[in-house]
Amino acid sequence: MMISLRDIARTVTLADGSPLHILKGVNLEVDGGEYVSIVGRSGTGKTTLLNILGMLDKPTSGVYEFEGKNVVKMGERRRTKLRGNNFGFVFQQFNLLPKRTAHDNVVAPLMYAKGMQFWQRNTLAREGLERLGLGERLDSMQQHLSGGEQQRVAIARALVRQPNVILCDEPTGALDVETGAHIMDTLRQVAQEQNAALIVITHDLAIAARADTTYTLADGVLHRAVDIQQMVEEMVES
């Protein structure tokens, strides 16, 4: 198993000093080539969970094994290296480098790729942007790109190092339905080509339903969603 979370909890302290138990006992297993979607209402802890999966945050308790190694006990340097070599992130807020071009943003993660020449990096970045329909926007500055274009740059950036795990937080939040569906197809194709795990947080149930496995995050735990209709009802009721 590539990713294995067992009984993961995450508690933070609020401004008034009281504890907030965001995650209470999350269990999740994801293998290479698998496509998992996670839905849940705002504030249920989806981003918190994604940050833990991507080793940007540590759980308060529980076990996280990545390819059989316990990540929680690992030192910061090893975790950083593991993260850089294995994970691609599409953040909810895009997090692009301001006042840089689309191309600069996508090439940035390759700056640390050893043994890769300047032109190779540029080619990879350009091809990635072209694949996401941004071949005409390579030299456009971040601040001149539309929200949906920025989102696609963020996706190209996440994929450029051919990660083993692609973590996406609302990757179609700024896109129209048609473009969103197309981008999800691309993400899925890329994941399959590389046998990468694809983990997608989304509010779009149509997108969620197309994953191999769909989970709902509620009350600090993940529930396996049995069918889409049930998911819709759960989201409306809770």
Ligand X SMILES: Nc1ncnc2c1ncn2[C@@H]1O[C@H](COP(=O)(O)OP(=O)(O)OP(=O)(O)O)[C@@H](O)[C@H]1O
Q: Which of 17, 43, 68, 98 binds ligand X (CB under 6 A)?
A: 43
In the complex with ligand X, the residue whose CB is nearer, 56 or 209, is 56
> 108-127 mask for ligand X (x: CB under 6 A)?
--------------------
Task: Decide: is 207 part of the binding site for ligand X (CB under 6 A).
Answer: no
Task: Decide: is 226 part of the binding site for ligand X (CB under 6 A).
Answer: no
In the complex with ligand X, the residue whose CB is nearer, 40 or 163, is 40
Task: Decide: is 47 part of the binding site for Mg ion (CB under 5 A).
Answer: yes
Contacts of 65 (CB under 8 A, 6+ apart): 1, 3, 4, 6, 71
In the complex with ligand X, the residue whose CB is nearer, 61 or 70, is 61
**Of these partners, ligand X, Mg ion, none, which one is at the site of residue 117 (CB under 5 to 8 Å by kind)?**
none
Tell me the window of 9-17, 44-52, 119-127, 206-214 that interacts with Mg ion (CB under 5 A). Answer: 44-52
Query: Least distance to ligand X from the beta carbon of 166, Å?
Result: 17
Size of the site for ligand X (CB under 6 A): 13
Give backbone dihedrals phi and psi of 116, rounded to 5 degrees, phi first. Answer: -110, 130
Structure tokens at 118: 């300047």
In the complex with ligand X, the residue whose CB is nearer, 113 or 218, is 218
Contacts of 12 (CB under 8 A, 6+ apart): 19, 20, 22
Task: Decide: is 172 part of the binding site for Mg ion (CB under 5 A).
Answer: no
Query: Least distance to ligand X from the beta carbon of 202, Å?
Result: 10
CB under 8 A, 24+ apart: contacts of 121-125: 124/160, 125/156, 125/160
Task: Decide: is 44 part of the binding site for ligand X (CB under 6 A).
Answer: yes
In the complex with ligand X, the residue whose CB is nearer, 89 or 164, is 89
Contacts with ligand X by CB under 6 A lie at: 12, 14, 20, 22, 40, 42-48, 92
Contacts with Mg ion by CB under 5 A lie at: 47
